[in-house]
Structure 1
Amino acid sequence: MIIRVHQRGGDVGPVLADDVFDTPLSYEEKLPADIVVAYWPGLNVDTAVGEPGSWTVLDWAEHINDPLFEYPFAVSPGQDRRSVFHLDVRLAPEDRSLTGQEWSEVAHRLARAAGIEIPGDDQGCRWVAVQARPHHLSLIASLIRLDGTWQRQPAGFRRHLAAEARRLESDLGLLTPGALTPTDRIAPLAEATAPLADARRVIELHAQLLAGHPQAPLREAGHRLEWLARRLFDLERDLTTTAAELRRPPAPPGAMAPSPPAAVPAARTGARPPM
């Protein structure tokens, strides 16, 4: 499980409409209940526009953005108004698919680890978690609380997120970065992917820790590590595919290739129809 924390933004709408899904959505498009896997516990559906499962992208964006417009003087410790917190979670390709309830547990536990959700705090942050793609989850929140103050996340919250990710992997039976999978140990060529898998997962973990870092050079280093991890994943996949081809048993000696289908003779031009 790899977690990436994005740079904070100023509006939920573009994050939900453009950044989360593979294909950009219109603001009028609904986010179905099976896409929205979790949201902040204080959501009062009695005053909402219908049930949250029927909300559009615009409904969710306005709901989470509300504190930003209601409290125009709320600023971060760095004196800026970029209140949109966004993280995404990606499982390993070899991981099993999680159920909706399991994704909901992942979202709530990561929201608590990031300091977004505090049990018993009814004036906290508004947030929503959507599963836009298989093996992926995005959590979007406003760091301006309902009481008009800025939510101060715990120091080193990225380390808290990484530690919680390890606990979730253990609880849900998922792979931990650096762990070997059965396909890494099948054949000599497949075994060559094991060091690549180890390196890729370690690089992904460090890329996650550097993503969104306040110092620009470290953020750039995180982006380069993420690019390198993608290249290693492509190479690892190619090696695994080649190993599978080599394991395929050869055709038995003397086996004949299937004959191509006989060609149908073309009709002669000007032929007389049968009597």
Structure 2
Amino acid sequence: MTPRLNKPTHAPRDPLAEALGRPVSPDEGLTEHTVVAYWPGLNHYTVGDEQKVWRSAQWAEHLEGPYLEHAFTACPNDDRRAILHLDVRLHPDDRELTGPEWAETAHRLARAVGVEAPGEENGCRWIAVQAQPQRIDLIANLIRRDGNWHIPPADALRRLSEESRRIEQDLRLIPVRNAPGPQAATRPVPTASAQLATALTQLTDEQAGPLATVRGLVEHTADRIARQSGAADADTAHHLELIAHRLHAIQQDLDTTAARLGHTGRPGVAAVPPAARNATRRTP
């Protein structure tokens, strides 16, 4: 299982569309086979509801509801991007999970990032969508039902990764890194391909690699410029976001090349994609 924590956004429609693999629709109903789990407090909103299946647009509206109910709630730095989106992908050769197994996985992931606590009904609104093969998406609003802002743990991605390892073991799934077979008596000398793969991996490392550092500076500059007024500033910020997106694509291409060369030292690059990929601008 490979978890990915996406950049927070203002609205849930784009994350939900990405999870579904198609646009959010006012006509398409999502059954329990697609929305496999959700926050416990949802029961307060469905009592007496004659409609058995919610449309995908209704799910998006439900997730966006806390913005209207708590119009002045924001995180400590006054950021109102409250929509958290994470996705987890299974190994391509993994078996198909059952509905209850997907639901258990979703609740464990929700607890790992703190949007759910056992017995808590005043927490964050969240749903888990299983609409694409070997993948589950969790979308949450960080504004709690009681009006407080939930701050995910600083090491949320590490917690997700650790919980993914435990889920792999409990559900007998293929781990990210297969255990090696019997060790040879002598350690093989690295090939030229392996050495090149290691160099590429260091170049694309998301924590300390030079490409990630440059991309971070570009994203930071774009965010600063976007806060200024004026069409020219908005165009410049958008252009910088596109540059960050291209840098991220280069990282992914190099990381894929490293994998083809035989390097298995770490999972895929860029667990948190650049702002350009998930940026959602709210119209006045």
Task: Please say whether Structure 1 and Structure 2 have the same fold, judged by a TM-score greater than 0.5.
Answer: yes
Structure-2 change in CA distance of 1:117 and 1:26 (3 Å): same
The answer to whether 1:16 aligns with 2:21 is no
Residues 25 and 122 of structure 1: is their aligned pair in 2 closer, same or farther, counting only changes over 3 Å? closer
Q: How far apart in 1 are the matches of 2:254 and 2:26?
A: 34
Aligned to 2:175: 176
Residues 102 and 207 of structure 1: is their aligned pair in 2 closer, same or farther, counting only changes over 3 Å?
A: farther
How far 1:68 sits from its partner (Å)? 1.1
Partner residue, 1:87: 86
Paired letter, 1:12 = P
Cα pair 2:115 2:140 within 8 Å, conserved: yes
Gap change, CA 1:58 and 1:48, over 3 Å in 2? farther
Tell me the alpha carbon deviations over residues 64-115 of structure 1, each in whole angstroms, 9 at most, x when there is no partner. Answer: 1111111111001221111000000101112111111111111000000011
The equivalent of 1:165 in structure 2 is 164
Tell me if the contact between 1:49 and 1:55 (Cα under 8 Å) persists in the aligned partners.
Answer: no
- The question of whether the paired residues in 2 share the 8 Å contact of 1:114 and 1:153 is answered with yes
* Aligned 1:87-106 pairs, distance under 5 A: 87-106=86-105
Kindly provide the CA deviation profile for residues 130-174 of structure 1, in whole angstroms up to 9, marking residues without a partner as x. Answer: 112010111000000011110122231211111101101111111
Q: How many residues align?
A: 214
How far apart in 1 are the matches of 2:175 and 2:110? 20
Structure 1 length-normalised TM: 0.67
The more displaced of 107-116 and 33-42 is: 33-42
Runs ≥4 residues deviating over 2 A: 21-28, 47-51, 215-236
Normalising by structure 2, what TM-score?
Answer: 0.65
1:20 is paired with a residue whose SS is: helix
Give the secondary structure class of the aligned counterpart of 2:20: coil
Q: Secondary structure at the match of 1:88?
A: strand
CA contact (8 A) 1:207 1:226 kept: no
How far is 1:216 from its partner? 2.5
User: Which structure's CA Rg is the greater one?
Assistant: 1
Q: 1:23 to 1:180 in 2, by over 3 A?
A: farther
- Greater relative contact order, per chain length (Cα 8 Å cut-off, separation 6+): 2
Match for residue 136 of structure 1? 135
Are 2:63 and 1:64 equivalent residues in the alignment? yes
Which segments of 5 or more consecutive residues in structure 1 lack a partner in the other structure?
A: 183-191, 237-275
Residue in 1 that maps onto 2:54: 55
Aligned to 2:216: 216
Q: Percent identity?
A: 41
Q: Is residue 40–residue 117 contact of structure 1 (8 Å, CA) maintained in 2? A: yes
**2 CA distance for matches of 1:174 and 1:81?**
37
Show the counterpart of 1:114.
Answer: 113
